[in-house]
């Protein structure tokens, strides 16, 4: 089975996306396990940076970031993917007053993007259930938590996904939401003027388009070990 990604374009789905999600009580609940598998599958798709449970119509406080962050904060290269990271019941601990304006996209707002001012650093604390492999290698079968300070793009991704858990979407922070076509034209113009910020280009390509996801559903199992890097 696979879940549908809810979008703001559908009135009913938009209402669901705007709900505040509840704490996860039992990560071992069969429904929660299926949800985790589905989020994992979506994160494995090239171009997807992360997903939050409410985007799949499940109002629980879980989000995932696609592989690329190791526990020492390093970022993997494209050749060797790190496992996707799961965050259960994340709590905001703090964030930097310094922020950066950059483009964000969202699977729930297909084919669009917009500039969002987001903190350069964000610290959160989250539950790491005993039943799953701990990314930091904590063993002993105990429920525990992690606290970590994310920086740069990852800080933005964490803020974006945390927002989803409270029924917020990046477009709430934007003065203007652009279509992908408008963004491409803006980038071309900026490139021509040599004013392009490479970070913007990276960010806008971070979330796959809906059509890419649809394509993925059709050719799911068995999952390929390595997928070609998406050029969007």
Q: Which residues bind Zn ion (CB under 5 A)?
A: 106, 128, 134, 138
Smaller CB distance to Zn ion: residue 81 or 173? 173
Rounded least distance, CB 104 to Zn ion, Å: 8
CB 113 within 8 A of CB 178: yes
Tell me whether residue 69 or residue 106 sits nearer to Zn ion (CB atom).
106
Name the minimum Å distance from CB 146 to Zn ion: 5
CB 183 within 8 A of CB 191: no
CB nearer to Zn ion: give 95 or 109. 109
Minimum CB–partner distance for residue 14 and Zn ion (Å)? 13
Shortest distance, position 182 Cβ to Zn ion, whole Å: 19
- Calculate the CA 42 to chain-centre distance: 10
* Cβ-Cβ contacts under 8 Å for 127 (sequence gap 6 or more): 24, 27, 88, 89, 143, 144, 145
Task: Report in angstroms how near the CB of residue 106 gets to Zn ion at its nearest.
Answer: 3
Nearest CB to Zn ion, comparing residues 15 and 188? 15
| Identity of the residue, 106 or 213, whose beta carbon is nearer to Zn ion in the bound complex | 106
Minimal distance in Å, beta carbon 44 to Zn ion? 17
Cβ contact 45:97 at 8 Å: no
Query: Is the CB of 144 or the CB of 191 nearer to Zn ion?
Result: 144
| Distances in whole angstroms, Cα of residue 161 to Cα of each of 56, 103, 108, 155, 164 | 13, 15, 12, 10, 5
| Calpha distance 212→69 (Å, rounded) | 23
């Amino acid at each position: 089975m696979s879940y549908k990604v809810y979008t703001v374009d559908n009135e009913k789905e938009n209402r669901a996306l705007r709900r505040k999600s509840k704490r996860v009580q039992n990560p071992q609940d069969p429904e929660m396990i299926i949800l985790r598998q589905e989020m994992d599958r979506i994160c494995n798709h090239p171009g997807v940076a992360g997903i939050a449970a409410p985007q799949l119509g499940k109002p629980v406080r879980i989000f995932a970031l696609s592989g690329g962050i190791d526990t020492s904060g390093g970022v993997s290269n494209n050749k060797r993917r790190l496992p996707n990271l799961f965050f259960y019941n994340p709590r905001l601990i703090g964030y930097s007053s310094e922020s950066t304006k950059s483009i964000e996209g969202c699977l729930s707002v297909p084919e669009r993007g917009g500039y969002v001012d987001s903190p350069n650093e964000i610290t959160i604390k989250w539950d790491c259930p005993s039943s799953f492999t701990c990314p930091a290698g904590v063993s002993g079968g105990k429920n525990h938590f992690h606290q970590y300070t994310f920086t740069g793009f990852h800080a933005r991704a964490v803020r974006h996904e945390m927002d989803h858990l409270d029924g917020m979407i990046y477009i709430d922070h934007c003065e203007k939401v652009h279509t992908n076509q408008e963004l491409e034209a803006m980038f071309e113009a900026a490139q021509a003027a040599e004013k392009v910020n490479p970070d913007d280009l990276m960010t806008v390509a971070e979330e796959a388009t809906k059509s890419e996801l649809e394509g993925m559903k059709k050719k799911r199992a068995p999952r390929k070990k390595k997928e070609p890097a998406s050029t969007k």
